[in-house]
């Protein structure tokens, strides 16, 4: 895999930061309370925590689906708090949501082309991007004309990865990538995330699979009740899994 195929831009990836973000869904509820975190380039930052701790909400705020009540979202030096989802995608922030996110009635190829929607004004660029994804994941070629809803879990996940990367985003937000996949595929998914890290991208990983996440993470944050709980490098958490989980159960 040569450097020109890494898919990142020539500049190094920016850093993504949440600064004292408070956010919630309905009028009065607080799901995130003054949460801060820093996602560094060329590294995997994992966000862990028990159910209801605010992990998914963190991703929603970072991707632009949920506006925070206070606090900022920073991409490099730029304050992107006010930017909507599409605009963040333009800045190179791409989300891989939880569960199945392919468009089931559309073919794989259509799914990919829609993933490159932001490139639509330059057909050559769009076609190139689609081709690049087919190169990166050659098995996609075999079922490019099948409706995405008819794919198996692993195949759909591949399409989702391709769609995630098709605009060559520098920042990846990944939500529970291994849920619902057969164990052998789970390994492949995490291998792919490591590969993406090696390409220099900025990666935030939210995961229930604490063991796998800690194994590939460089930085770990944990949340509890919507607040920052623990943080540190992988070495701090390695070997302390049991304690960590026990800690959550007692919260």
Partner 1 sequence: MLEQLLQAGVNGILLGGVYGGFAVGLSLILGVLRIVNIAHSAVLIIGALGYWQLVNGLGLDPLLAIVPIVLLGYLLGLGVQRGVAHYLRRESDTTVLLAFFGLMVVIETIAIIVWTTDTKTLDLHYLGGVLDLGFLRVPVARVVAAGLSFALLVALHLFLTRTLTGSAIRGLSSNRDVAEMVGIDGNRLSRHVFAMSIAFSAFGGTALALVVPFTPQDHLRWLAWAFLVVILGGLGSALRTLVAGVVIGVVESVVGVLLPFQYTYLVLYGLLAVVLLVRNQGLGGLKARSL
Positions touching partner 1 (CB under 8 A) are 63, 65, 85-86, 89-90, 95, 97, 101, 103-106, 110, 113-115, 117-118, 120, 163
User: How far apart are CB 212 and partner 1 at their closest, in Å?
Assistant: 24
- Closer Cβ to partner 1, 86 or 233, answer by number: 86
Owner of token pair 């989802």? 85
User: How far apart are CB 111 and partner 1 at their closest, in Å?
Assistant: 8
**Comparing C-alpha atoms, which of 173, 136, 215, 177 is closest to residue 39?**
173
- Closer Cβ to partner 1, 114 or 185, answer by number: 114
User: How far apart are CB 123 and partner 1 at their closest, in Å?
Assistant: 9
User: How far apart are CB 202 and partner 1 at their closest, in Å?
Assistant: 18
- Closer Cβ to partner 1, 96 or 217, answer by number: 96
Beta strands of the chain (E only): which ranges? Answer: 16-23, 32-39, 43-48, 70-75, 78-79, 93-96, 171-175, 202-206, 219-224, 227-233
- Closer Cβ to partner 1, 43 or 162, answer by number: 162
- Closer Cβ to partner 1, 84 or 236, answer by number: 84
Rounded CA separation 177/99 (Å): 8
**Comparing C-alpha atoms, which of 24, 9, 113 is closest to residue 70?**
24
- Closer Cβ to partner 1, 89 or 214, answer by number: 89
CB of 162 closer than 8 Å to CB of 190:
no
**Comparing C-alpha atoms, which of 87, 82, 59 is closest to residue 71?**
82
User: How far apart are CB 234 and partner 1 at their closest, in Å?
Assistant: 29
Residues linked to residue 43 through DSSP beta bridges, in sequence order = 202
User: How far apart are CB 153 and partner 1 at their closest, in Å?
Assistant: 17
Full DSSP string of 11-65: SPPPPEEEEEEEE-SSSS--SEEEEEEEE-BTEEEEEE-STTSSHHHHHHHHHTS
């Amino acid at each position: 895999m040569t450097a020109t195929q890494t898919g990142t831009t020539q500049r190094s990836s920016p850093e993504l930061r949440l600064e004292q973000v408070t956010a919630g869904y309905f009028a009065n509820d607080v799901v995130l309370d003054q949460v801060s975190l820093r996602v560094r380039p060329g590294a995997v930052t994992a966000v862990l925590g028990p159910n209801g701790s605010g992990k998914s909400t963190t991703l929603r705020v970072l991707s632009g689906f949920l506006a925070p009540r206070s606090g900022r979202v920073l991409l490099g030096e730029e304050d992107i708090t006010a930017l909507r989802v599409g605009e963040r995608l333009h800045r190179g922030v791409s989300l891989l949501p939880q569960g199945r996110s392919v468009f089931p009635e559309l073919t794989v190829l259509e799914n990919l082309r829609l993933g490159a929607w932001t490139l639509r004004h330059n057909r050559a660029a769009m076609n190139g991007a689609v081709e690049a994804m087919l190169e990166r994941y050659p098995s996609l070629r075999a079922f490019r004309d099948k409706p995405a809803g008819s794919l198996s879990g692993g195949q759909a996940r591949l399409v989702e990865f391709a769609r995630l990367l098709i605009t060559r985003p520098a920042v990846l937000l990944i939500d529970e990538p291994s849920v619902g996949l057969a164990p052998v595929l789970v390994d492949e998914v995490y291998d792919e995330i490591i590969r993406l890290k090696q390409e220099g991208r900025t990666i935030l990983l939210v995961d229930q699979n604490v063991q796998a996440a800690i194994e590939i993470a460089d930085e770990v944050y944990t949340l509890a009740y919507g607040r920052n709980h623990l943080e540190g490098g992988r070495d701090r958490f390695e070997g302390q899994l049991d304690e960590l989980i026990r800690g959550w159960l007692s919260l």
